[in-house]
Amino acid sequence: MAGKPIRSPAYPSMSLEDAVGAVEKIEAQYRGSPVDREDGAKLLGYSGATGPANKALAALASYGLVERAGKGMMRVTSRARSIIHPDNDADRNEELAQAALEPKLFKELRDRFEDIAVPPMDGVVTYLNREGFNPTAVGPAAKAFINTMQFIQSRGESESHVPDDSVDAELGPPGKAFGGAAVGDFVQWESQGALQFETPQRVRAVSEDGNWIAVEGSETGIPMNQITVEQTAPPKPPAFPSEAPSFENPTAAKGFSEWFRAKVGADKLVTINFKGEGEIGPKEIEKMIRVLEAQKLALED
């Protein structure tokens, strides 16, 4: 029986951040004009249109940063120029977010891990292996995807720390109280204006400095200043003793039986325990009396 066919995923050989840095070198020389692919490869540090150079140029194309402009020619796209020369940070971040999901594989992975801004590497590798991807491609593809998601996440975080009239660096958009989550609280995560959880998640850990949290079922650290508390954890009930205090003589558990108990003072309780066959009778009581009288005389002396 034939096994599951091996998929050979088309994926960029570099992260989006590296791709932007590369296309900037081409745009600085040619702007939006057509450029020979070999000349473009040389601007990236390659000797010409070699195998590694073609992979690098293919990565730029997969993000929508360059496009064909005739046989053997290419040009920098309007998307790339909007990223390099943005009107403002918000426009640049929007273009970057679209470029990050332009590769089909990255869109597939983003949909698979839709509730996690930056999925764990192990989870991405496991998914690609389960889907039957070529083993030699799994590691590089997972790394490029993770690095790209980290770049997009860092762009959103850096923007959220720039004060303006509508966003507070510590509290987020007006009208929302961000932060202050504790273990056991149900929270929502908002990043770049979008909710990251389908339903509120329970906090399982808070970092010592209070700047990060982790939720149940995830190893990803989440910035505290992007968290809103949807439901606080119920207070812990007070602890009560399992049963009322006992005045039983502890020696009774060692083979002795309690025979007599009497209060002989405001805070004094006397018990008489015995060990042996039968019951205590007058003869035994007489001996106890003599012993107690001797003890009394000794104390008086």
19-73: pLDDT as tens digits: 999 999 999 999 999 999 999 999 999 988 888 899 999 999 999 999 999 999 9
Name the strands in the sheet holding 66-68, side by side, starting at the edge strand that comes first in the sequence: 35-36, 73-76, 66-68
Residues ≥6 apart with Cβ < 8 Å to 93: 155, 156, 159, 192
Sketch out the chain's domains with CATH numbers.
Answer: 16-160 (no CATH), 170-235 (2.30.30), 250-300 (no CATH)
d(C-alpha 217, C-alpha 203), whole Å = 10
Show the tokens assigned to 271. 């018990």
Question: Residue 258: which H helix or E strand, with range?
Answer: strand 257-265
How confident is the model over 57-68, as pLDDT tens digits? 999 999 999 999
pLDDT of 161 reads 42
pLDDT of 59 reads 92
**Type of residue numbered 170:** E
pLDDT of 231 reads 84
Spans of the chain below 50 pLDDT: 1, 158, 160-175, 244-247, 251, 253
Residues ≥6 apart with Cβ < 8 Å to 14: 22, 56, 59, 144
pLDDT of 168 reads 41
Angle at which helices 121-130 and 135-160 cross, to 10°:
140
pTM reported for the whole predicted model? 0.52
Position of tokens 């209060």?
263
